[in-house]
Every structure is written in structure tokens, then in C-alpha cells.
A = this chain, B = another copy of it.
Amino acid sequence: MPKKPEILKATTLAQTRLFHIEALDLEFSNGVRTQYERLKGRSEGGAVLVVPMLDEDTFFLIREYSAGVHRYELTLPKGRVEAGEDLLEAANRELMEEIGYGARQLEHMTAFTLAPGYLGHTTQVVLAQELYEQKLEGDEPEELEVVPWRLSELHKLVACEDCTEARSIAALFMARERIMHGL
């Protein structure tokens, strides 16, 4: 593995409720100096994305208004890990709030970055199985639509114009590898 560049200086350029932009003065191991901008991660606890399996084939998505692209998107349920929560607790709470199920079996599958070149964000992925009906009130401004789909029809999902989120797509392929092929 190459030697990391040295961070000579980190300067906050802007900070809002959700975002924190930093400038990094870097020196690479070959002596080249440069400045990069990056966005720091959104929260200390990080974010969690849940793959909720109703059975070996059926999973649930939500259809939610997505302000970043100003349209409704089909994605896996997700949210922030709150202070004092562990990852699996947060996954189960988001599941109850967003799709109305809890899970008896929760398992950490992987961690994703979004665009590691300029975003610090990391999302933990949790596979949820052995679901039971249990609704918790969330803080969404409107009711979310819950959409069941099948792993055996994943190729049709990724062809939908409103299913574009790379994290959800990558998590579903990895869940399918694990559940259907034991990988």
C-alpha cells in the first residue's frame, strides 16, 4: 500500500446544519503539494442502510422524496445512527419507522463510501431477516410508500428510472450473493 499524503493543514471553508466543507493542504510522498476540498461525514455515529428480507426472495424498498435530485426515489430504508445507539439498534429503529417491521436477526454486512475522493461519508449496511410487524413513528413529512420487490427480479429493479442510488443497488447485489449463493 502506498504511503498516504501528509495533511499539512485542514481549514473549514463552510459549515451549515448538515454539511462541513474542508480544504486540505496535502503533500504527496513524491513531494507534490496540492489542495483538495472535501465534505466531512454528516454525523459522528454514521449512517445505516438496511436490506430487509421478508423471506429468502422478497425485500422491501421505500419510495421517498429526495431533495438532492428533487424527485421520488426507490431506495432501501436508511438513516442516521443516533447518539447512544449501536448500529444494529439504529438499523432496527429505521426499519420500524420506515417500513413498519422489526427484525429478529440483524447482521452487519459491509461499509460503503459514496465518493471517497471528496466525501467523508460512510454508510454501514445491515442485513435484516426474520421480520415481524412493528410500526414506530418516524419524523418524515409525509407517509412513505413501502414497495416489495424480489431478489430474483433485481435486474428489473435496476432498470427502473427511479431506482438509481448506488448504495442500495450495491447492497442488494451483495445480499443476493450472500443469501442465494452463500458468498
Using a CB–CB cutoff of 8 Å, the interface residues on chain A facing chain B are: 1-2, 4-5, 7, 13-14, 16-19, 21, 23-24, 26, 28-30, 32, 34, 36-39, 63-73, 75, 110-123, 141-142, 145, 155, 158, 162, 164-167, 169-171, 173-174, 177, 183
Alpha-carbon gap, A31 to B34, bound state (A) = 48
Contact of A113 among B19, B23, B164 (CB under 8 A): B164
* A116 adjacent to B165 (CB under 8 Å): yes
Instruction: Give the residues in chain B near A39, CB-CB below 8 Å.
Output: 19, 39, 68
Lowest 6 A-B CB distances belong to which pairs? Answer: A14-B14, A66-B116, A173-B173, A169-B170, A170-B170, A155-B183
Instruction: Give the residues in chain B near A123, CB-CB below 8 Å.
Output: 166
Alpha-carbon gap, A121 to B117, bound state (A) = 14
State the Cβ distance, A182 to closest chain B Cβ, in Å.
10
Number of copies: 2
* B119 adjacent to A68 (CB under 8 Å): yes
From known contacts A19-B21, A120-B68, A142-B32, infer whether A113 and B73 are also in contact, taking CB-CB under 8 Å: yes
State the Cβ distance, A173 to closest chain B Cβ, in Å.
4
Instruction: Give the residues in chain B near A17, CB-CB below 8 Å.
Output: 37
Contact of A29 among B23, B75, B142, B169 (CB under 8 A): B142
Contact of A65 among B5, B21, B68, B162 (CB under 8 A): B5
Alpha-carbon gap, A116 to B68, bound state (A) = 5
State the Cβ distance, A71 to closest chain B Cβ, in Å.
7
* B28 adjacent to A113 (CB under 8 Å): no
* B19 adjacent to A116 (CB under 8 Å): no
Instruction: Give the residues in chain B near A171, CB-CB below 8 Å.
Output: 166
From known contacts A34-B141, A170-B166, infer whether A2 and B117 are also in contact, taking CB-CB under 8 Å: no
